[in-house]
Amino acid sequence: MGKFTNDATDLLKAVGGKENVSAVSHCATRMRFVLNDPKLADEKKIETISAVKGMFTNAGQFQVIIGNDVSTFFNDFSAVSGIEGISKDAAKSIAKKNQNPVQRLVTLLAEIFTPILPAIIVGGLILGFRNILEGVPMGFLDGQTITQVSTFWNGVNGFLWLPGEAIFHFLPVGIAWSVVKKMGGTQILGIVLGITLVSPQLLNAYAVNGTSAADILANWSWDFGFFSIDKIGYQAQVIPAMLAAFLFVYLERFFRKHIPESISMIFVPFLSLVPTIIAAHVILGPLGWKIGTGISFVVNTGLTSSFNWLFGALFGALYAPLVITGLHHTTLAIDAQLIADFGSTNLWPMICLSNIAQGAAVLAIVIAHKGDKREESVSVPSVISAWLGVTEPAMFGINLKYMFPFIAAMCGSGIAGLLTTLMGVRANAIGVGGLPGILAIRGQDYGKFALCMLIAIVVPIILTLLFRRIGLFNKIDKIGEKLPIFDDGKVAISAYENVAIEGNSNNVATTEVCEPIITDICAPLTGTLRPLGAAKDPAFAEGIMGKGVVIEPSVGKLYAPFDGEVAMLFPTLHAIGLLSNTGVETLIHIGIDTVQLDGKNFSSSLVQGDKIKKGDLLIEFDIDAIKKAGYEIGTPIIITNSGDYNNVDTSAAKAEGSAIKAGELIITTR
């Protein structure tokens, strides 16, 4: 009988039995099920299984979090169920059957835009800073802009156009690459395809509307005698690049199947790329442009019509629920198209306000539950994260847990969205969320947007406290009883004795003070330290696995963070579970989805059960190779038994990130 035989048997019954399991796999921490009927999964029963630490559904997979012992649990599950595991990629493929067409489209858009989000965010910051330099008249400069009075800053402004142009004007290159990468095509050819859409030989997309048809025919066309093709560029266009990239991938797949391998190196790229480029400039580009223009026209018209207040209120209120479903990824494409067509977007300001409102609602919970150290370790970083544009920790960690702050944030965001549309606030760029979002706003709209930001902060705070007091939307009014922590850090432990008082039995509480066990967890990596909410995987970012931090390593060496032993070592070496001599269970997961590398670019001489000393070299990995393979390298360090401690202090991790060296203190448990 295995260690988890009973729990595995209970889980099999709770997911609907063997006949309901289409496929099952596991990663470093989770069982990943593809269920024939997800509704048969009894989540309440699963929560009672001792080995289960949480669950969620993502991309058609029902994922049950086990923790460091998942490989042992998986083996016991296979033994009791008779179901053999499959690869993670195969599970993902099967999982698609549980998604409707809209979900598949949303998942696809998310997977396309996620790899290029860092560039979009950086570009938004750059354009926002340039906006301040050249677009905002300063009162202390007699109404002139900074670039008008300073040669230095004028030079800085001009220089920053270089990366700004590279990111947004050449956005089709990134999109084509991301689509081809996602679909398993030849990535360098996706880059080449994107370049053919923005080549300097083409008439810049921003100049098309100012160029007559006769001029385009005479100076901007390829003349083939009996027909011609317009030399039109697609700078900043999203849909033409996506359509072209999808066509290329399907052509490449087709020719790889039908051309002998001995000559495929020559003919497959040629027969896939050249027809795609022709189709992109003759059919797909013009069609995609019209589709994108149509979408942006409808959105812009809705936000500038006499009913814009209604559109703004609804979008402002409903954007947060869109984040839950994943549909918010579609707004990136719409925002990009609005900027391409109108030079600015009226959608992005409302997205920023929604982020701010969610953070404000969490701040209200911090106020209402002041003194709850355990919750504050989650809620305070969540406020900061939301106000910097990442709302998932706030939404999933606090607001959705209590529900009433989530609804309060929706109300505040809706009111702010209504006002921002009525006042015609627009953004020159996208990518900068939360409070820094004001950098992307047009100079003339700064004051208006600042007012909307204030509303997005004040209204959710007031409503959250009000809903809590009157019990509206509030089914969980308090977190639960917490043991007090004295000023000297000692923990009060309550013990109850039955004492007879005047013939009655009463529970009388007596309190003893015990010295807390303190464990310091040091950085296992050298790099940049960030809060756990920065993790790219929701199971980590939302704290489902436990509290912790993220390190983006700059050196491919992982060291022991304390004295203890290796509790779990995944065969692919991308993740390791450690147990300290004081009982702290720690999971270190190098990168996200790196299990798919199957151990490539990782090396270690460890085996499970090995004793370790703080500073011992545990695993070596090739950062550049992992990044080139397309994987996120940010590494979560999770205290998987966080619930066993009164306080897990991760305050060393700042939202903006800070340099950290292996061996420096990052987490303390007590």
Active site residues: 27
Q: Is 362 helix (H, G, I), strand (E, B) or coil?
A: helix
Task: Give 573's DSSP letter.
Answer: S
State how far the Cα of 249 lies from the Cα of 253, in Å rounded to an integer. 6
Report the 10 Å Cβ neighbour count for 393: 29
Handedness of CA 559, 562, 566, 567 (dihedral sign): negative
State how far the Cα of 81 lies from the Cα of 278, in Å rounded to an integer. 54
Task: Give 485's DSSP letter.
Answer: B
Q: Token digits for 122?
A: 């950086």
Kindly report the backbone phi and psi dihedral angles of residue 646, in degrees, each rounded to the nearest multiple of 5, phi listed first: -75, -25
CA angle, 165 then 167 then 171, to 5°: 105
Strand-strand pairing, 504-514 and 519-522: unpaired
Query: In terms of Cα–Cα distance, which of 184, 291, 327 is closest to 246?
Result: 184
Query: In terms of Cα–Cα distance, which of 285, 349, 342 is closest to 311?
Result: 349
- Is there a contact between 456 and 397 (Cβ–Cβ < 8 Å)? no
State how far the Cα of 417 lies from the Cα of 350, in Å rounded to an integer. 5
Q: Token digits for 157?
A: 């402004």
Q: Token digits for 302?
A: 């809705």
Report the 10 Å Cβ neighbour count for 501: 8
State how far the Cα of 38 lies from the Cα of 467, in Å rounded to an integer. 34
Report the 10 Å Cβ neighbour count for 542: 22
Handedness of CA 401, 404, 408, 410 (dihedral sign): positive
State how far the Cα of 337 lies from the Cα of 296, in Å rounded to an integer. 6
